[in-house]
Amino acid sequence: MAETEKQVLSKLFRLVPIFSVVIAMTALLTTVAARRKGLTCTYLGSSHLVSVGSGGLEKTVKVEIAGQTVTSISKMSFAVKNTGALAIRSEDVKEPIGLYFPKNVKLINAVVDGTSPPGFSFKVNLDASQNVVFCEFPLLNSGDEAYLAVYIYDSPEAIPELKGRVVDLKAISNTDESGKQLQNPFPYLASIAARKVIYLMLLIFNILLCASIIMILAKLALEYIHWRGWLRQWGDTYELAVLESHPELKPEYDRGRRIGRHKTPKLFNTLSVQQLTQKGIPKNPNTADFSPRLYFGFAVFLMFLAALFGLTSSFMYFAPKGF
């Protein structure tokens, strides 16, 4: 390997401590986040089911609820999700969790439209006297989500607030996504087909980069194992052969012995393949003169890149596309 290339590699591996610090900080933040609880109620929007208060329909159409005539019925949709990293159990709930509506909102009923993943138990109970829809569940794992529908009549569609007290949960989050629209990630492209092609190309590119780096890591690991095996069997014999042919390298060899660097890498590529064959020594597989420290540093750098491209691919695949 040329001296300039070795200098470039040396400068590159000086960045390894920086990447190590970044990885350590990321692991620390991930660990802290993994110990947090989170519960979020998202207002998804509403739809008008009955509206007879305009256009003269009230003269020909009559809608009653428990004997009371009404002019409008609306359905408000919500999603209650465990957005933390820890499960929330029924025994963790110290004050009932409920959707608290303003007093001017008239409630008819509340139901569970579905859950994700499907099948887990989640119930709602309407308390009309308090204008609250209470939520009950034995267990809400991280990522579990329940979709609720609350029916109101002759009332403004005022957004309620999910309240309650849960062990180790500072506050329940309430968000409104009823008016949000997915943003176009490619505003400079008018064609939806072109956007999808670009998206797929970027996704595939990131996946291929991640896979390629993983393959390089595997190849590097195999080469390192091969080299260490060669070193154990032929390292001493090789160094003695080098010193016989190049006695001027004896000071470098002695220096390596003094500082505990046995089988000094700088001696490994001194002899040609023909000279090795004559002495019955297999070719040194470490043709790049890498030390174990450089091998490890390069592996850490590649693992960081593989994780970066892997996370990017995952985010692109699971994030809203906005086409």
Residue 120 and residue 137: Cα distance in Å, rounded? 9
Which residue stretches of 134-258 are H helix?
Answer: 192-245, 250-258
Q: Domains of the chain: which residue ranges?
A: 35-176, 187-318
Residue 224, pLDDT score: 83
Residue 98, pLDDT score: 96
Residue 5, pLDDT score: 47
> Which residues of the chain have a pLDDT value below 50?
1-5, 259-266
HSE of 4 in the Cβ direction (CA atoms, 13 Å)?
A: 0
Residue 179, pLDDT score: 74
Fold of 35-176: Immunoglobulin-like (2.60.40)
For residue 298, give the nearest of 207, 224, 206, 209 by alpha carbon.
224
